[in-house]
Amino acid sequence: MNRHRGAKRSALGFALVLAAMPLAWAGPPFMTDDPEPIEYHHSEAYVFSTYDKGPDGGKEIAMPAFEFNTGPAPDWHLHIIVPFLDLRPGDGSHEYGLGDMELGFKYRFVHETDSRPQIGIFPLLDLPTGDSDVGLGNGRAWGTFPLWIQKSWGPWTTYGGGGRTFNSAPGMKDYNFAGWLLQRSITDSLILGGEVFHQGAPSEDSQPSTFLNVGGFYNDLEPCGGCSLLFRVGGSIAGEIHHEGYVGLYWTWGPKEKQ
C-alpha cells in the first residue's frame, strides 16, 4: 500500500514516495484485486515479502508482512495486514520497523452466473501505526475504495476494476487507480497470470505509473502442510521507474464439508 510526503528526493522523501505506491498489499500476489470473498466461516493467512526498487535506486522491502482474512458471514470477509518495512534509500541510510496497518472488508453483492460476472467492493483503511518521521508511515489515516469484477470460464479467470485513494497527509494527493488481470490453471497445482495496473501520482512530487506484472500460485506444498506459494515479478512500463516483486506462503482453513 502506501505512505509519503516530501518535496525533494531526499532519503526521507524518497522513502515516503516509495511507501505511497500500492505495491505491497492488493490481491495476493498481484496488485489487482478480485471481488470474491473467502468462504463463510473460513479463514486464511499469508506470510509474505514485497520488494520495490524505485527511480533513485532506493529500495522498500516489506519483510515480514502478515495478512489475515476471515469470513463471518456469507459474501463478506474481514481483512487486516501488519507489515514490517525495511527502507533503504539511495543515500545508504536504513530504517526498519512497523509500517501502517491496513484494515478492510470485502463484500460481494453480485454473484457470477454463466452470463454475468461477480461484482464486489473492498474498502480499505490504513492506520498511522508506522513512524512517519523516518518514512515508515503516512502520518495520517488514509483510505481506498475500489470496485472489482470477475468472470471465469473453464481454466481461465479474468478480473479487474479500479477506484480512488484518499490521502490528506502533507505532500500527498488523492488519486485514481485501475487494473486488469488474466490467469489460467496450467495444472491441478499451478496457476499463472499477468496484469496491467495503472495509478495516478500519489504525492505532489511523483508521477503516474503503469505496471506490467506476471506471477501465479503453486498449491499443495507438502513442506508447509499443504500451503500455497505465491509469487509475482514485474515493474513499471510507463511513468516512474519501479522494479518490484512479491513472494509469500498462504494457508486456509475452515469447517469441512459434510459428506
Number of domains in the chain: 1
Residue 235 lies inside a defined structural domain of this protein: yes
Domain that holds residue 203: 11-253
Residues 34 and 147: their CA atoms lie apart, in Å, by 9
Residue 24 lies inside a defined structural domain of this protein: yes
Q: pLDDT tens, 49-77?
A: 999 998 878 899 999 999 999 999 999 99
Q: For position 175, which CATH number holds?
A: 2.40.160.40
CB-based burial label for 136 (10 Å; 0-12, 13-18, 19+): buried
Residue 5 lies inside a defined structural domain of this protein: no
Residue 258 lies inside a defined structural domain of this protein: no
For residues 8-24, average pLDDT? 38
Residue 69 lies inside a defined structural domain of this protein: yes
Q: Is-contact 234 211, C-beta < 8 A? A: yes
Q: pLDDT tens, 83-130?
A: 999 999 877 789 999 999 999 999 999 999 999 999 999 999 999 999
pTM across the whole model: 0.89
Residue 122 lies inside a defined structural domain of this protein: yes
The radius of gyration of the chain from alpha carbons, rounded to an integer in Å, stands at 18
Q: pLDDT tens, 169-212?
A: 999 999 999 999 999 999 999 999 999 999 999 999 889 999 99
Residue 14 has pLDDT above 80, yes or no: no
